[in-house]
Structure 1
């Protein structure tokens, strides 16, 4: 039995979300194929599929169920079914003996507060439910009506709902106009939520301007990383790739936080000369960082071939050549 079959057997419908690198919807048919071992997971993170499953029964309005699961994958990113089966067995026991204490279900995990807020925002949209009262408060703040320094009353939920509804009530333009005025704390919260969204061109330009200002003011690597993540799924491919080129030429380019952000969120744009620049920065960051982030990138669809091609680049630096040699030596040692 699969999770999809289990949910269908209760008469419920479900939606599935990837919660690994970013929070995004997964087609139910695609998830079913993954569960049936017919296809690899499309966006693995740390050798797992991190998913949020929202289910509800149309005959019971207002009632819904949420599971957060961390499902182990094999070397080809195919589901290892044993832990998933243990999760289902747990819930079958819960149904059979609902008054008994069963403990935590296998494979369960609890997202942090920011991811919970954004997932909840997505769930409200899927269930066609209205936004919370925090949404109205957040929009009033972003309009400047309440004063830019009066952000302490804002809740994560309200800001998450604005980002989750960029296509509604002119929210994208509202956010683009607000970003230059926002203090660091609420701005960074917004940037964190935007990594799960697809900013339009106008919002991407506002983010790009914010990043340029951050560079002029010698902002730390964490701030640059936040902007990169926020633009990682922008609809404007040219803009986001230009930004990466600028960031990879910055003095902070070899910082672990920035390299991790680019590798985990911006990997779709790492190819050709841009990938070469990224690998050079990784090599400068040290052997441990290089091995860990390259290994993670190689689990992503299409990246292994790109990376192996970059490894053969004739003009790579001695630092990168040494890092590649250590990586290959470690791989051979693992095989033995």
Structure 2
């Protein structure tokens, strides 16, 4: 048997094509060239979370996209978010021993027990399913029609009766003019609990620019309650690098007062791309450094510094002795605490 160590070689040697979706932060497709560079230890994983690369590896026999297979992978990463190759090699060896190159003859339920397979939560699962079917031009679930009908009737009751998969299928089809119009017309009328539920799907997709701008205007309403603010911000995840989002987050973070810890966590988990702006990153780091919530700084700083693009930005800021005074103090305490805990 050919000596294979990488996942993409395993897939290709079995006569299959594949695609990759990150499932750690937002359900977004990772280009194959980028994933192969990651596997070949030529670049860091782009969306690490808790020192782990969490992704859906989807594969299918060449020319047969009708019934794809999915492995929900959890591979450990090192401090710089590079692959720990021994773990990946271990998984590939387990698969080769159990299946050889016949990986299309068994479903995921029959994979040998191993520590590297773990399905995401139901919302992410629904979004992977929806995005994959849309990409491969496969029929959506039957629940999509129920959601379209619901939006058409503009009666925002009994939304709990609609399936999560139906909403996921609808949200990935917002480029469709009819669906987009129905959704945009209804979104701002939805009951608050319904918006909260949909936010955990919408955060994996990009809404229209017009809807994005309307959401920002709503966020600027000073009477907006905390939960509504959190839900609306999650809906803007796909627009994290937009100037208007930058201006809004700058306004939020540029305050002397402690910001809600949940809001700071959402920025880190879903809107992290906005923090590539040095000014915004400075404001954010100083906010978490000065926050009274115990353990918040260590959790969020550790999370951000693992993201390759932000890691470079953070280290660049720390090279300036006049920058990040509160962050330096918090870092010193964090390092000192870890040192004392081990001695």
User: Number of matched residues?
Assistant: 330
RCO higher in 1 or 2 (8 Å CA, sep ≥ 6)? 2
Q: CA RMSD in A?
A: 2.9
**TM-aligned CA distance change 1:136 to 1:279, over 3 Å:** same
| Paired position in structure 2 for 1:107 | 116
Is 1:243 matched with 2:243?
no
SS at match of 2:160: coil
Unaligned runs of 5+ in 2: none
Contact 1:201 1:236 in 2 (8 A): no
Secondary structure class of the residue paired with 1:182: coil
Q: Which residue of 1 aligns with 2:25?
A: 21
Which runs of structure 2 are paired with 1:258-297 in the superposition (5 Å)? 258-270=263-275, 271-282=277-288, 283-286=290-293, 288-297=295-304
Give the one of 203, 206, 219 matched to 1:198: 206
Whole-angstrom CA distance in 2 between matches of 1:83 and 1:332: 28
Return the TM-score normalized by structure 2: 0.85
1:147-158 superposed matches below 5 A: 147-158=155-166
- 1:93 pairs, out of 81, 93, 97, with 97
Match of 1:128 in 2: 137
The answer to whether the Cα contact below 8 Å between 1:48 and 1:72 also exists between their aligned partners in 2 is yes
Question: In structure 2, the residue corresponding to 1:181 is in which secondary structure?
Answer: coil
CA offsets 1:64-87 (integer angstroms, 9 cap, x no match):
210000111112221111221222
Q: TM-score, normalised by structure 1?
A: 0.87
Report SS of the residue matched to 1:206. helix
Match of 1:81 among 68, 85, 91: 85
Which residue in 1 is equivalent to 2:194? Answer: 186
Equivalence for 1:211: 219
- Contact in 2 for aligned 1:254/1:281 (Cα 8 Å): yes
SS at match of 1:53: strand
Where structure 1 has 5 or more consecutive residues not aligned to the other structure, the ranges are: none
